[in-house]
Amino acid sequence: MTRLSVNINKIATVRNARGGNVPDVTKAALDIERFGAEGITVHPRPDERHIRYADVREIRPLLHTEFNIEGNPTVQSFVDLVLEVAPDQVTLVPDGHDAITSNAGWDTVANKALLTDLVNTFHSKGIRTSIFIDPDPAMAYGAAACGADRVELYTAAYAEQYTKDREKAIGPYLETAKAAREAGLGLNAGHDLSLENLSYYIRTIPWTDEVSIGHALISDALYLGLEKTIQAYLAQIGKK
């Protein structure tokens, strides 16, 4: 059954906008777990404009659910951080240093040598490794050839097209999900998933292992409150 991992970057963004420690990112992570989320996701960037490396180090030993760190593994400081804290999962994302948010998946064929080396590096510490990909079956097969444990489907295009034609929007994701399953990979999904589009995605691709949701969930929490929002998202994946 699909697990809900909450990306807490936006909470850190609010804190950093003012300085100090309000809101408290570590307390928020623990509250999110207490409210029923099954994982915490962070995406530390080198400029630390939201989650800071110090946050990752502080949060790691306190969590009781899954900890997922995502980021660009071509940055050595990111690799060093992941190896130091040894999360349950690392998600490899090819985002540029100046990207506002993740905006593309890996070409797992063109970058096979690099990704294989990275997967082996993280496996040496017992860290499950997921590769962020666009909805393209060839990229799923390529990730399997790199030795990855999972892929995370970049769902921005699905979310953008959902209100126009949801069947057409999910088509490439369903085909890629089938390819991932055929290749023996676990399956994650994330980016712009929301209360509006999440349930249909999970009903169509029920073997999704995990969804990582941040922006929409934290935005909904402004109106509903954090605990009620997490319960609402769990309901969308059939947990409540």
Which residues, in sequence order, are bridge partners of residue 6? Answer: 40, 213
**Of 190, 180, 93, 158, which is closest to residue 132 (Cα–Cα)?**
93
Q: Is 215 marked active-site? A: no
CA distance 91 to 69: 6
8 Å CB contact between 25 and 233: no
Which tens digit of pLDDT belongs to each residue from 52-86?
Answer: 999 999 999 999 999 999 999 999 999 999 999 99
Q: Which of 50, 66, 191, 210 is catalytic?
A: 191
Distances (CA, A) of 102 to 16, 63, 154, 165, 191: 20, 25, 9, 24, 8
pLDDT band at 42 (very low <50, low <70, confident <90, very high): very high
Q: Is 66 marked active-site? A: no
What pLDDT score was predicted for residue 167?
98
Which tens digit of pLDDT belongs to each residue from 85-107?
Answer: 999 999 999 976 555 455 689 99
Question: Residue 36 class from Cβ within 10 Å (0-12 exposed, 13-18 middle, 19+ buried)?
Answer: middle
Which tens digit of pLDDT belongs to each residue from 115-167?
Answer: 999 999 999 999 999 999 999 999 999 999 999 999 999 999 999 999 999 99
CA distance 124 to 116: 12
What pLDDT score was predicted for residue 214?
97
Q: What is the mean pLDDT of residues 180-195?
A: 98
CATH architecture of 3-236: Alpha-Beta Barrel (3.20)
C-alpha count within 13 angstroms, C-beta hemisphere, residue 168: 5
Q: Which of 33, 70, 152, 210 is catalytic?
A: 70
pLDDT band at 36 (very low <50, low <70, confident <90, very high): very high
Q: Is 38 marked active-site? A: no
Mean pLDDT of the chain: 96
Q: Which of 33, 38, 43, 152 is catalytic?
A: 43
pLDDT above 70 for 17: yes
